[in-house]
Amino acid sequence: MQTQDIFKNNASKGLLSIYYTAGYPNLDSTIAIAEKLEQAGADFLEIGFPYSDPVADGPVIQHSSEVALKNGMTLQLLFQQLEALRSRVSIPVFLMGYFNTVLQYGVENFCKSCQAVGVNGAIIPDLPMYEYEELYQDIFKQYSISNIFLITPQTSPERIRKIDDLSQSFIYLLSSNATTGKNLKVGEQAAQYFQRLKDMNLKNPLVIGFGISDKDTFQKATNYAKGAIIGSAFVRLLSDENYMDKIESFIKSIKTQ
């Protein structure tokens, strides 16, 4: 399924995206978790490829990256695992990680591998917009891989318009400048920020991330955006011994009206 389709087909309800780290808690759990998340009702997924110095991540996701790396997860191994993705998972899937890992793998190899396994796009927080535009945009387009840009409260309107022009899927709206794992607080300042973005009528849908952890924060976020992303709260669940049995109730606790 193309990402645009889920936004068109679900115009009236908030979409739920789940982030988790490939290779955590077990090296071979990546596809099984994705399959279970789709069955439980997640609308699209972000699978993180671990990195040794994840600057934007809070302690929960940092820990999952450390464990995944110790387990032996690499980008090459992840793509091998994802060869089974589209035989078991139909919802859109994005890979998320840091540019150094992509650069070492090779940007064209990365996009080619994404296309081969059916990954829809990539979220690379530390890839500068001008660098993407000048050096890599044509490669991403050649392999039909969407590059997802991030917007923060400090992003200027001019830059937001530019990001909107360069995007083909959705725009990742950070709820704050903090690292992941902080609870979303929609005070007056945050509400004004979200409303300002909503009022810009961008051509690409907005999805809010950072600080979404439960039904309450999910509903607050989707008042202003087409969807919201839960990361740390879900990764925390994966540390439980019987985590696979808990995935369905976790998703339903957030999406049940």
pLDDT at position 86, please? 97
Token pair of 110 as six digits: 């990365």
d(CA 218, CA 114): 29
Q: In this structure, what is the dihedral angle of CA atoms 223, 224, 227, 229, given to the nearest 10 degrees? A: -100
DSSP 97: -
CATH for 184: 3.20.20.70
Please report where in the chains the tokens 């009206």 appear, as a residue: 257
pLDDT at position 50, please? 92
CB 145 within 8 A of CB 115: yes
240 is catalytic: no
CB 209 within 8 A of CB 228: yes
Which entry of 28, 57, 126, 138 is annotated as an active-site residue?
Answer: 57
Which entry of 28, 35, 38, 46 is annotated as an active-site residue?
Answer: 46
Look up the domain containing 148 and give its range. 3-255
pLDDT at position 49, please? 96
pLDDT at position 185, please? 56
Domain count of the chain? 1
241 is catalytic: no
Q: Going residue by residue through the chain, which has 257 residues, state the pLDDT in tens, using 9 for 90 and above.
A: 666 677 777 655 799 999 999 999 999 999 999 999 999 999 999 999 998 775 556 789 999 999 999 999 999 999 999 999 999 999 999 999 999 999 999 999 999 999 999 999 999 999 999 999 999 999 999 999 999 999 999 999 999 999 999 999 999 999 765 544 445 555 677 778 888 998 999 999 999 998 899 999 999 899 999 999 999 999 999 999 999 999 999 999 998 76
